[in-house]
Chain A
Amino acid sequence: MNKALFRVVFSIVVLSMVLLGCSPKQETAVDVKLTLIDQAGITLTIPQPVERVISTYGPATSFIYAVGGGDRLVSASYLGARDPFGAMMMEKIDPNFREIQGDEFFSQEDFNLEHAASLNPDLIIVSSRSVWLESAAQLEIPIFQVFAETEETLKEAMLLTGEIFGSDAADQAAAWVDYYDEIVAGVQETTDRISLDQRVRVLFTGTEPLRVASGDMYQTSIIEAAGGISVSEELSGYWNDINLEQVAIWDPDVIIVPPYGGASVEAITESPEWQIIKAVQDGHVYRMPKLVVPWDTPAPDSVLGIVWMAQLLNPEIVDIDCKEEAAYFYNTFYEYQLTDEELTTICQFNVE
């Protein structure tokens, strides 16, 4: 008796589950899909329009904001938003920043699968160097890999990001590429006249004074685009540790420190040992500016890095103004109106 009852109940349950499962899904009117090749060379299909995006890579997050897709981020890793100033500015740019911020779940090393799944994303944008790509693929959500380390790959990444976020975003990305090319061409036009031996020799240091940017790094492209010469161009790979004797051989005219990782101008200018270097004697040690994203990283903001550096290295001949360009840039690409005070703060050469 009991058994029979159990069978009946069981059958009803199973039947109802099957029936419910088969019930017609709500389908979008037209099933639009975008097929493209990402920067790791993988062809992927992305549903259109994308509505819920996770970005696990700080620079990629800035691409998304720059093309106007910031409101479609459900969680993101940010670049340069860890220091109080960066966080404050990011909150001004996007009031939802604190809720979206997902650095504790997503980075190049970490990917919290459960959390990602719970956000129900339709696209995950990642660095091609992420260590967890295979496990993330188990979610069967499209993964777009970014590899933007040079001028060319940065432009490509911007254009692809634009394409993913729809036609308005694509126009915005194209506008950024045009703006970048315009700035570089404008600077180049005037700095081309400077012969190689007349160019300002720049050393770009890292998070510590004796760690310098190699010739493969984007920082070197910025220096060259601004009409200078990177003294550490001969090095390859990533940041290189060197000794002061090598700095003395290079004998740079200008030293630039990055705006992150605790790097400071004082660490160089107040060191007795560094006093032998000409740039230090002359007081030519500067800090690269940033609003949120540091201007020396391969991100949309780096175009201002070129502007700032061109003005710093060749003030006599380059007709370009950091404040003017920064106001235009943040207004156009982040829809943020910088105050005069903010403009003065970020564009100055000597930051206290």
Chain B
Amino acid sequence: MLNKIFERKGWKLTFILLLPLIIFIISIMLGRYNIGPFDVIRILFSTGLGEGLPDIPNIAQQLILRIRLPRILAALLVGASFGATGTAFQAIFKNPLVDSNILGVTSGAGFGASLAILLLSEQWQIQVSAFIFGLLAVFLAFLGSRLYKSTPILVLTLMGILIGSLFSSLTALLKYVADPLDALPAITFWLLGSLTGITWDNIGVLGVVTIIGVIFFMMIRWRLNILSLGDSEAKTLGINPTSNKVIIIIAATLMTAAAVSVSGVIGWVGLVIPHAGRLLVGPNHKSLLPVSVCLGAAYMMIIDDIARTLLPGEIPLGVLTGLIGVPILIILMRRNRTGW
């Protein structure tokens, strides 16, 4: 009996862990430009950029290698990042209603991007500005919480919300002064999230930060179990809750800022993917963290597939994440009634 359950759980876990790979392979074959699945695989395995396969039009080869591949990888990385950071934040804040934006990183990044759209024009400048202001927002929240002596995590949460609101207001101000014919639609589009126009140049930093970040969270995931019990329990078990939380917040903030600076503001994923993970494998972070990473990655790839293939025009990711995610989550909740 026990054996049977273990087997079922193991099968489920294996499937979830393989899910990003499966979705990745399906995604690379999907696109508005029609390229046969076998040709796609041949292009992927051909060496170098183009030239390799004379029977496939060069444009198809370039599309796969320079447009689809970096974009799908970006979706994978962004999703993985949101999955990991959302799970970690829900653990250390002991609150299932938070994600990595609770300290204002996304609001800060949104402001940074809007400012860059208004004053500068290059894609990389927008990305860098978003990244810097994302970090700045969390740093300010930290600084603010230092003004207060006791209950640091609660004060930090409050400060994060305050700083987040501050940056949201500043973004609203920028939208108000932005030229409705050029800057305003660009800001609005950025604030809704999109991966259109992603190239290899854009995903270098994202890739490095996300991979290191995910490895870091995988290594410390047992600590998340302890931290989620509460500060006194963590101390009893020989873990300094404050320093651990600070390190986790720094790591998660870097990851989120890197992700958001590429994808634009995408809400919802970091909040809900950990819940989906808990419904599937339970609250133990030993399996919950990798499952959230994989679910997040697979989910973002699916969302982006829809965004880029459904219509000739791009659909903003922020619109789709909730629209598709909420029904899925409700179905999951109906099926498994697991505790949080």
Q: Do A and B come together as binding partners?
A: yes
**B51 proximal to A (CB < 8 A):** no
Q: How far is the CA of A260 from the CA of B181 in the complex (A)?
A: 9
Q: State which of A207, A241, A249 has its C-beta within 8 Å of the C-beta of B32.
A: A249
**B182 proximal to A (CB < 8 A):** yes
Chain A residues closer than 8 Å to B59, beta-carbon distance: 248, 276
| A276, B58: Cβ atoms closer than 8 Å | yes
| B58, A207: Cβ atoms closer than 8 Å | no
Q: State which of A109, A241, A248 has its C-beta within 8 Å of the C-beta of B194.
A: A241
Chain A residues closer than 8 Å to B67, beta-carbon distance: 243-245, 273
Number of B residues contacting the other chain (C-beta, 8 Å)?
29
Q: How far is the CA of A241 from the CA of B312 in the complex (A)?
A: 9
Q: Mark B167-180, 1 if CB is under 8 A from A, else 0.
A: 00000000010011
Q: State which of A206, A209, A241, A275 has its C-beta within 8 Å of the C-beta of B314.
A: A241
Q: How far is the CA of A211 from the CA of B312 in the complex (A)?
A: 12
| A243, B308: Cβ atoms closer than 8 Å | yes
Contacts A211-B185, A261-B179, A262-B182; is A243 near B197 (CB within 8 Å)?
A: yes
| Chain A interface size range | 20 to 34
Q: How far is the CA of A16 from the CA of B4 in the complex (A)?
A: 104
Chain B residues closer than 8 Å to A235, beta-carbon distance: 312-313
**B21 proximal to A (CB < 8 A):** no
**B94 proximal to A (CB < 8 A):** no
| B58, A242: Cβ atoms closer than 8 Å | no
Chain A residues closer than 8 Å to B325, beta-carbon distance: none
Contacts A207-B186, A260-B181, A261-B181; is A246 near B197 (CB within 8 Å)?
A: no
* Residue from A209, A242, A260 whose CB has the most chain B CB atoms within 10 Å: A242
Chain A residues closer than 8 Å to B308, beta-carbon distance: 243, 245
Q: How many whole Å from B252's CB to the nearest CB in chain A?
A: 30
| A241, B181: Cβ atoms closer than 8 Å | no
Q: How many whole Å from A130's CB to the nearest CB in chain B?
A: 11
- CB closest chain-A residue, reference B120: A262
Q: How far is the CA of A245 from the CA of B62 in the complex (A)?
A: 10
Chain A residues closer than 8 Å to B314, beta-carbon distance: 210, 240-243
**B124 proximal to A (CB < 8 A):** no
| A243, B180: Cβ atoms closer than 8 Å | no
**A332 proximal to B (CB < 8 A):** no
Q: State which of A108, A248, A262 has its C-beta within 8 Å of the C-beta of B180.
A: A108
- CB closest chain-A residue, reference B66: A273
Chain B residues closer than 8 Å to A275, beta-carbon distance: 62
- CB closest chain-B residue, reference A238: B185
Chain A residues closer than 8 Å to B194, beta-carbon distance: 241
| A207, B196: Cβ atoms closer than 8 Å | no
Q: How many whole Å from A62's CB to the nearest CB in chain B?
A: 15
Q: How far is the CA of A335 from the CA of B245 in the complex (A)?
A: 71
Q: How far is the CA of A238 from the CA of B181 in the complex (A)?
A: 10
Q: Mark B66-98, 1 if CB is under 8 A from A, else 0.
A: 111001000000000000000000000000000
Chain B residues closer than 8 Å to A246, beta-carbon distance: 32-33, 312
Q: How far is the CA of A137 from the CA of B12 in the complex (A)?
A: 66
**B63 proximal to A (CB < 8 A):** yes
Q: How many whole Å from A129's CB to the nearest CB in chain B?
A: 10
Chain B residues closer than 8 Å to A94, beta-carbon distance: none
| A241, B199: Cβ atoms closer than 8 Å | no
**B189 proximal to A (CB < 8 A):** yes
**A239 proximal to B (CB < 8 A):** yes
- CB closest chain-B residue, reference A277: B59
Contacts A248-B63, A249-B32; is A241 near B189 (CB within 8 Å)?
A: yes
| A109, B180: Cβ atoms closer than 8 Å | yes
Contacts A109-B180, A245-B31; is A262 near B68 (CB within 8 Å)?
A: no
Q: How far is the CA of A241 from the CA of B316 in the complex (A)?
A: 9
* Residue from B180, B181, B186 whose CB has the most chain A CB atoms within 10 Å: B181
Chain A residues closer than 8 Å to B176, beta-carbon distance: 109
* Residue from B31, B58, B312 whose CB has the most chain A CB atoms within 10 Å: B312
Q: How many whole Å from B176's CB to the nearest CB in chain A?
A: 8
Contacts A261-B181, A276-B59, A276-B62; is A245 near B32 (CB within 8 Å)?
A: yes
What residues make up the interface of A, taking CB atoms closer than 8 Å to B?
Answer: 107-109, 206-211, 232, 234-235, 238-246, 248-249, 260-263, 272-273, 275-276
9 further contact pairs, Cβ within 8 A, besides A242-B313, A273-B62, A273-B66: A211-B185, A235-B313, A240-B312, A243-B67, A243-B196, A244-B197, A248-B59, A261-B183, A262-B121
Identify 7 residue pairs between A and B in the complex whose beta-carbon atoms are under 8 Å apart, listed by A's number: A234-B312, A240-B312, A240-B313, A242-B196, A243-B314, A245-B63, A262-B182
